[in-house]
A and B are shown apart, each in its own frame.
Chain A
Amino acid sequence: MVDRIDKKAVNSLIYGISASIRKLFGGGADAVMRIAGPYVVEEFEALGVKFEGKDPQTLSDEVKKATLELGMCDDISIEDTGDHYKILVGNCSFWEATVALREKGISPFACPFANLAMTVLEKNLGQKTTVEKIEPIGDRASEILLAKV
């Protein structure tokens, strides 16, 4: 059995699942991801990844370590801008899916980085957020904006 999967295949899967969930649930698709978040974190923790930070910086460092180690991106920063958390992802492994969704006029929502950040921010810091923007920027980079609630 192979122990790796081509990034293109992962992007195709994310694109297909995202497009179909958006088609079925319209704007309510975003709520699907709020429920998915804790399951994603649970699976990550089963892989040995821990999110134990009780302050934004430690938590940001833990998300960075986990996503880099799992090959989800080459760089990630999470900045607390006051009303928002601004997440910049460099060399995003899911960039093709994000771009393909945008090109088809489908608003991306199944972003693993947004999902992960939202879940650990709420779980560890009690900070509820909503996704305001998931946008491909430049060469394989993405900007995610989480609004604090």
Chain B
Amino acid sequence: MAIEQILSKLADVEGVQGVFVVSKDGLILDSVGSLSVDLTSIAAIASSGLGSAEVLGETAALGGLDQEILEFKNGKAVIQSINQRLLLCMIASKQANLGMIRYTIDKEIESIRTTL
């Protein structure tokens, strides 16, 4: 299955506005969705944010990091590590069901890893 098809499954979760595969150096490699925001900056911020959280985990002896969830006043962001080089970033509305987003990521993450 093509990566766009798998990302579309994630984007089909109610409230999800954008799904991106981003390299750890902040480059968007694949994306699905209709967000009209500065995607270049979002990709770099997602990558540096995940990197910073990973360092927090290492420094506090909490181990590796799989996922970062951010809840804002007007929406949500979920950043999931795919492998050493890539991450998945999802942007969703305030009303989006985080449980459903996480469930769908869990369900699709191995397909994403295999495809990439």
Contacts and interface: CB of A to CB of B under 8 A. Distances in A.
B52 A24 contact: yes
B50 to A, nearest CB: 6
Contact of A30 (B25, B40, B52): B25
B29 A149 contact: yes
A68 interface: no
B47 interface: yes
Nearest to A34: B26
A31 B51 contact: yes
Contact of A23 (B23, B26, B48, B55): B55
Interface string B37-71: 00011011101111110110010000000000000
Interface of B: 23-27, 29, 40-41, 43-45, 47-52, 54-55, 58, 84
The 6 closest A-B pairs by CB, nearest first: A28-B51, A31-B26, A30-B25, A31-B47, A28-B48, A31-B44
Interface of A: 23-35, 128, 130-131, 149
16 contacts: A26-B54, A27-B24, A28-B48, A28-B49, A28-B52, A29-B51, A31-B24, A31-B44, A31-B48, A31-B51, A34-B26, A34-B40, A35-B26, A130-B25, A149-B27, A149-B29
